[in-house]
A = this chain, B = another copy of it.
Amino acid sequence: MIRIRPFQPEDWPALWAFMEPVFRAGETYAVPRDITEQDAHRMWIELPRSVRVAVDGHGTPLGTYYLKANQAGPGDHVANCGYIVAPAARGQGVAARLCEDSLALARELGFSAMQYNLVVSTNETAVRLWQAHGFAIAGTLAGAFRHPALGPVDAHVMYRRL
């Protein structure tokens, strides 16, 4: 039983516990691998327009996403989101639920499109999941991501209208 609700400040330690290893691994996010907890908090919680959290029946956080405008001014009708699912909660459809929730929220906030700027091509589960949620690969950036094991790999810009 997964529920998605707004972020509350007391969620942070649980979120950081599963976000930190993802950033440290450096395989999926264009975030410094040595990012501090404070900078991660600023990036994920303070700067975006909305942050939501998926919780199980006991209220335990399973994943989170942020939503913000991808560009300013005449580009601020295009939303951008980032999603992280706790490793222990993978394979339960949490990312799909987060994505669906974010599309609904973006519409509700008046956005008319959503863009992911850098989907690492080797993260095939993510690429397929976003495609299943209506995103197309708008373009592929050759070698735009330095994978810690594979070296430079391609990254996709993914986009959909809302």
Q: Are A75 and B35 in contact (CB under 8 A)?
A: no
What 0/1 pattern do residues 45 to 87 of A give for CB contact below 8 A with B?
0000000000000000000000000011111111000000000
5 contacts between A and B (CB under 8 A): A32-B72, A33-B73, A113-B143, A138-B157, A141-B157
In the complex, A161 Cα to B35 Cα: how many Å? 27
- Interface of chain A, helix or strand or loop or mixed? strand
| Contact flag A143-B117 (CB < 8 Å), given A30-B74, A33-B74, A71-B30 | no
In the complex, A161 Cα to B113 Cα: how many Å? 28
Q: How many chain-A residues does the 8 Å CB contact rule pick out?
A: 38
What 0/1 pattern do residues 1 to 39 of A give for CB contact below 8 A with B?
000000000000000000000010010011111010000
Contacts of A143 in B (CB 8 A): 112-113, 161
Contacts of A112 in B (CB 8 A): 143, 152
Query: Is A99's CB within 8 Å of the partner chain B?
Result: no
Within residues 108 to 162 of chain A, which ones have a CB less than 8 A from any CB in chain B?
A: 112-113, 115, 117-118, 137-148, 152, 155, 157, 159, 161
In the complex, A56 Cα to B157 Cα: how many Å? 39
**Chain A residues with a Cβ under 8 A of chain B:** 23, 26, 29-33, 35, 71-78, 112-113, 115, 117-118, 137-148, 152, 155, 157, 159, 161
Contact of A73 among B29, B77, B115, B139 (CB under 8 A): B29
Q: Shortest Cβ distance from A38 into chain B, in angstroms?
A: 15
Q: Shortest Cβ distance from A32 into chain B, in angstroms?
A: 4
